[in-house]
Amino acid sequence: MLNNIEKLRQEIDRIDDQIVELLIDRKTQSDGIIKQKVNAQIPIYDSDRELDILNRLKTKFHDRIDSFQIEHIFGDILFYSKIDYFKFSGLQNLSLEKILANTPFIIAGPCTVENQEQIESVAQKLSNLGIRLLRGGAFKPRTSPMSFQGLENEGIRLLKETALKYDMFVVSEFTDSEQLEKHYDEVDIIQIGSRNMTSSGFLKQVGKRTSKDKKPIILKRGFASTINEFLLASQYIINEGNPNVMLCLRGIRSFEQIESELRYTPDLASIVELKRNSPLKVIFDPSHATGKASYVYPVSKAALELGADGLMIECHVNPEESVSDSSQTISPQELERILKLLIR
Ligand code: PEP
Ligand code: MN
């Protein structure tokens, strides 16, 4: 009997060699297509074509192999065939509206705008990855008044200037209505931070100010707020005439902060809860939710699996030199590695 197993194993090894040879051949063919698409500046990812490939195989072999197995095995083959490229390539020249419709979208950038060189170096790397949404804090809602509060007006100016240079859109937080008025035209997506989610007066002011142009707003969940309070906060903005609100989960406070290194507790199941109970886009911020750079990948993976429409990730060319939130900040190289693994 052992002899027989040995024989079968030899046969399996032979077939495995053939499979790998065929995978290499397949990759060569698909690389040819990808190159042409890159030259023509059209998106590499074509969901209709991928669906056709799976359906054709499932129909042809349905009585010999389970459709579920085809889907899994070929899902991985299709993913690895484009792993060297991004789903984002080809997003140049798209409007903000189109970029936000191309889910999952990625917002990335430093916790805080520090100086011209810092924001420019990270923006350049991010735009090379095809990322069009540049975040950066200028008015920082720091827990301690002794901490660096951001470059304020100068921070917004640097952010806008850099975004224009690299054809990106600005995502930044305002903490009061004076900033909102003064810098309205320089910020493309207005962020309302976790600490301000419960400021109903400010929510109304932002809703009113954006009611004409319906500028997108990212509302971050208060870290001690229930889902219902979060949804009601979004309603304050919507009721003033701007339905263009995105809900951002960024971790909540719990007992885990007592004896673990987690800065907050990633509120992952809330993605499912919000997607079921609200028509709004839901995005996840793995950086603040965990406070740890090495957790950004696994938590982002879970968030996308659970249906998040986008991710907001803190990124800096030298994470360890970041003036704020350095322990949760990743480099553009790390972001590239993560996105290649995550974005199918
Ligand atoms: C931020 O994203 O810059 C930020 C301060 O996050 P939060 O409001 O979630 O703490
Ligand atoms: Mn931060």
Task: Give the domain CATH number at 40.
Answer: 1.20.59.10
Is residue 2 scored above 80 in pLDDT?
A: no
Distance (angstroms) between ligand 1 centre and the Cα of 263 equals 12
Closest residue to atom 6 of ligand 1, CA basis: 193
Distance (angstroms) between ligand 2 centre and the Cα of 163 equals 19
How many domains are there within the chain?
A: 2
Distance (angstroms) between ligand 2 centre and the Cα of 314 equals 7
98 or 44, higher pLDDT: 98
- Residue ending a domain, choose from 61, 84, 107: 84
Give the least confident one: 2-6, 59-63, 179-183, 282-286. 2-6
Write the CATH number for 110. Answer: 3.20.20.70
For residue 328, is it within any domain?
A: yes
Same domain for 65 and 7, yes or no, is yes
pLDDT value for 88: 65
pLDDT value for 86: 66
Same domain for 243 and 141, yes or no, is yes
For residue 152, is it within any domain?
A: yes
Ligand 1 atom closest to the Cα of residue 220 is 9
Return the best residue to mutate from 285, 311, 313, 326 for the ligand 1 pocket (most ligand atoms within 8 A of CB): 285
Note the pLDDT tens digit of each residue in 251-299: 999 999 998 989 999 999 999 999 999 999 999 999 999 999 999 999 9
Q: What's the mean pLDDT in 230-249?
A: 98
For residue 60, is it within any domain?
A: yes
For residue 231, is it within any domain?
A: yes
Ligand that lies nearest to the alpha carbon of residue 249, given by its number in the listed order: 1
Q: What's the mean pLDDT in 89-114?
A: 90
User: Percent of the chain having pLDDT more than 70?
Assistant: 97
Same domain for 187 and 127, yes or no, is yes
pLDDT value for 46: 85
Note the pLDDT tens digit of each residue in 129-141: 989 999 999 999 9
Distance (angstroms) between ligand 1 centre and the Cα of 324 equals 11
Same domain for 70 and 185, yes or no, is no
Return the best residue to mutate from 139, 172, 220, 248 for the ligand 1 pocket (most ligand atoms within 8 A of CB): 220
- Residue ending a domain, choose from 84, 106, 125: 84
State the DSSP code for 291. -
Ligand that lies nearest to the alpha carbon of residue 291, given by its number in the listed order: 2
Question: Would the CB of 155 count as within 6 Å of ligand 1?
Answer: no
pLDDT value for 38: 82
The stretches of the chain forming alpha helices (DSSP H) are 2-39, 47-60, 67-81, 96-101, 116-128, 153-165, 177-182, 200-209, 227-239, 256-259, 269-277, 286-290, 296-305, 332-342
Note the pLDDT tens digit of each residue in 175-197: 999 999 999 999 999 999 999 99
Same domain for 263 and 152, yes or no, is yes
pLDDT value for 168: 97
Ligand that lies nearest to the alpha carbon of residue 135, given by its number in the listed order: 1
Length of the chain: 344
Same domain for 117 and 77, yes or no, is no
Same domain for 107 and 71, yes or no, is no
Range of the domain at 121: 96-342
Ligand that lies nearest to the alpha carbon of residue 197, given by its number in the listed order: 1
Q: What's the mean pLDDT in 151-165?
A: 98
Query: What confidence category does residue 80 fall into, taking pLDDT thresholds of 50, 70 and 90?
Result: confident
Query: What confidence category does residue 143 fall into, taking pLDDT thresholds of 50, 70 and 90?
Result: confident
pLDDT value for 90: 60
pLDDT value for 89: 59
Return the best residue to mutate from 114, 225, 288, 328 for the ligand 1 pocket (most ligand atoms within 8 A of CB): 288
pLDDT value for 40: 86
Q: What's the mean pLDDT in 57-71?
A: 96
Average pLDDT, the chain: 94
Same domain for 56 and 167, yes or no, is no
Are 263 and 292 a contacting pair, CB within 8 Å?
Answer: yes
Q: What's the mean pLDDT in 215-230?
A: 98
Q: What is the 3-state secondary structure (H, E, C) of 187-239?
A: CCEEEECHHHCCCHHHHHHHHHHCCCCCCCEEEECCCCCCHHHHHHHHHHHHH
The closest alpha carbon to 251, from 300, 206, 211, 205, belongs to 300
Query: What confidence category does residue 217 fall into, taking pLDDT thresholds of 50, 70 and 90?
Result: very high
Question: Would the CB of 291 count as within 6 Å of ligand 1?
Answer: no
Are 109 and 123 a contacting pair, CB within 8 Å?
Answer: yes
Beta strands 245-249 and 281-284 are: parallel
Same domain for 46 and 108, yes or no, is no
For residue 90, is it within any domain?
A: no
Query: What confidence category does residue 78 fall into, taking pLDDT thresholds of 50, 70 and 90?
Result: very high
Same domain for 26 and 100, yes or no, is no
State the DSSP code for 315. B
Question: Would the CB of 221 count as within 6 Å of ligand 1?
Answer: no
For residue 89, is it within any domain?
A: no
Same domain for 43 and 66, yes or no, is yes
Same domain for 72 and 124, yes or no, is no
